[in-house]
A and B are shown apart, each in its own frame.
Chain A
Amino acid sequence: MAENKNVKVVMDNDGIDRCLTRIAYEILEKNKGMENLVLVGIRTGGVYLAQRLQKKISAIEDKDIPLGILDITLYRDDISSSSKKPALGKTKIPFDLDDKKVVLVDDVLFTGRTIRAAMDALIDFGRPKLIQLAVLIDRGHRELPIRADYVGKNLPSSFWEAVSVNLMEKNGIDEVIIEEET
């Protein structure tokens, strides 16, 4: 299978870093600072990106921004039809969500189903003042009325292509690749 694939690198290490820097400033601009602002990364890719955004925002404002980790497996809409259960990761939201401005962070925005699940999960934890969405890649093909507030890069893709965000923390390299089956 592997040899039948056309792999194209669409973003490298510097590209990812510049996108995250821009998003960090956009988040602060839109929310007029970081009062009541929290980041929540969606497992697994979103967590690493959220950690990087946390560093950048905390450095800009010289104050730590809280970070939570969300596993959305239990809220998936295909959970009862999937033939085997996906491995379950830990959810850690070590702060109260009531009246917070929550920025959800994920690597790729595709059908929007993950974000739907993430919003359901967040609302079980409290009543945020608002929820915003930051993604590194928006590849289109939405199946739900969801859009991102902060986008690293819009990447038009065919439904059957695979878009992967590889990150140093997990894959040992920072890159965004698009794999096309030929």
Chain B
Amino acid sequence: MKFEKKDILGMKDLTVDEINIILETAESFLEISTREIKKVPTLRGKSVINLFYEASTRTRTSFEIAGKRLSADTINISASTSSVVKGETLIDTARNLEAMNPDVIVIRHSAAGAPHMLARMLRQSIINAGDGSHEHPTQALLDMMTIKEKKGRLDGLKVAIVGDIMHSRVARSNIYGLSKMGANVVLAGPATMLPRDIDKMGVAVYTNLEEAIVDADVVMMLRIQLERQNQSIFPSLREYAQHYCLNRTNIQLAKKDVIVMHPGPMNRGVEISPDIADDPSYSVILDQVNNGVAVRMALLYLLTGGNE
């Protein structure tokens, strides 16, 4: 068991063994969040910078809590309150942060590849917390951990991912990750939200929700990015909901013990009906959030090996 990665940039470049180590480590970390004193001294004296160029509550809070539960010092920088508004480039910001000697930099950026550039430039470990429409590896890892927790395995499961695949970094990371772990991933969404050639990633693609979720073990609903409504990729929310909203009726097509996931934030009544989202016999959405902290603790733990 050896984990030698310097950075976590995407599910594309993690091996099956590395994914297994991360998931097993995360499972061990789960217990800490159930203690009365939710803190261990492991990363005392280490510092983690959360550099967020895009809005986030869940991911940023999750990383901050993960760092704090390991006793690391966590510093949050959001673009709107930093010198980014004064016109500083990402490279200059990064070099300045590097000079302050943090151990890990967590970055979310609207440009695909931004974390990769930092990883090449800086000696610190970089964790990609979402880059444009490219990857969001920590979300995929917490999704995989949740599926494994509920189903006992990933191998051989049918996972349907439904919604705006085109703009979804969550979808892309999950396709890479789940396929590697032996799951059978199928996608569904309106044609305008399916990237051309997506089937080359080795997944079945449908334009119809019902066809995609037949016999599914897991249904993952993606957030409709309301801010994209004026890009004319779908006529109206109501029409989208009519065809792609997961509800009490269409969920019957999936396996009896299907679990429903959503990376949040949810648009209730658009991609997922409230009675599904709030039904604990289907919804594992809050388990995903709980596991997210454990996955991020595992990554901070594994990356701060201190092999300098």
Mark A residues whose CB is within 8 Å of B: 71, 73-75, 79-85, 87-92, 120-121, 124-126
Distance, CA A121 to CA B46, complexed state (A): 20
Known: A80-B306, A81-B306, A82-B305. A90 touches B27 (CB 8 A): yes
Distance, CA A125 to CA B42, complexed state (A): 16
Contacts of B286 in A (CB 8 A): none
Contacts of A92 in B (CB 8 A): 31
Would A83 and B306 count as touching, CB distance under 8 A? yes
Would B305 and A71 count as touching, CB distance under 8 A? no
B-side interface residues, number (CB < 8 Å): 31
10 other A-B residue contacts (CB within 8 Å) besides A88-B24, A90-B28? A74-B301, A75-B42, A80-B46, A80-B306, A82-B305, A83-B306, A85-B302, A85-B305, A88-B28, A121-B40
Would B307 and A90 count as touching, CB distance under 8 A? no
Would B3 and A84 count as touching, CB distance under 8 A? yes
Closest CB-CB distance, A85 to chain B, in whole Å? 6
Q: Scoring B residues 20 to 39 as 1 if CB is less than 8 Å from chain A, else 0, what string do you get?
A: 01001101110110011101
Interface of B is mostly: loop
Known: A80-B45, A80-B46, A80-B304. A88 touches B40 (CB 8 A): no
Distance, CA A85 to CA B31, complexed state (A): 19
Does B2 belong to the interface (CB within 8 Å)?
A: yes
The one of A84, A89, A90 in contact with B4, judged by C-beta atoms closer than 8 angstroms, is A84
Distance, CA A90 to CA B27, complexed state (A): 8
Distance, CA A179 to CA B64, complexed state (A): 46
Would B2 and A84 count as touching, CB distance under 8 A? yes
Known: A88-B301, A124-B35. A80 touches B43 (CB 8 A): yes
The one of A71, A82, A88, A125 in contact with B35, judged by C-beta atoms closer than 8 angstroms, is A125
Does B44 belong to the interface (CB within 8 Å)?
A: yes
Q: Scoring B residues 278 to 308 as 1 if CB is less than 8 Å from chain A, else 0, what string do you get?
A: 0000000000000000000010011011110
24 residue pairs A–B, Cβ–Cβ below 8 Å: A74-B32, A74-B40, A74-B42, A74-B301, A75-B40, A80-B43, A80-B46, A80-B306, A81-B306, A82-B306, A83-B307, A85-B302, A85-B304, A87-B1, A87-B21, A88-B25, A88-B29, A88-B301, A89-B28, A90-B31, A121-B40, A124-B39, A125-B35, A126-B36
Contacts of A87 in B (CB 8 A): 1, 21, 24-25
Distance, CA A92 to CA B30, complexed state (A): 11
Closest CB-CB distance, A107 to chain B, in whole Å? 21
Q: Scoring B residues 37 to 58 as 1 if CB is less than 8 Å from chain A, else 0, what string do you get?
A: 1011111111000000000000
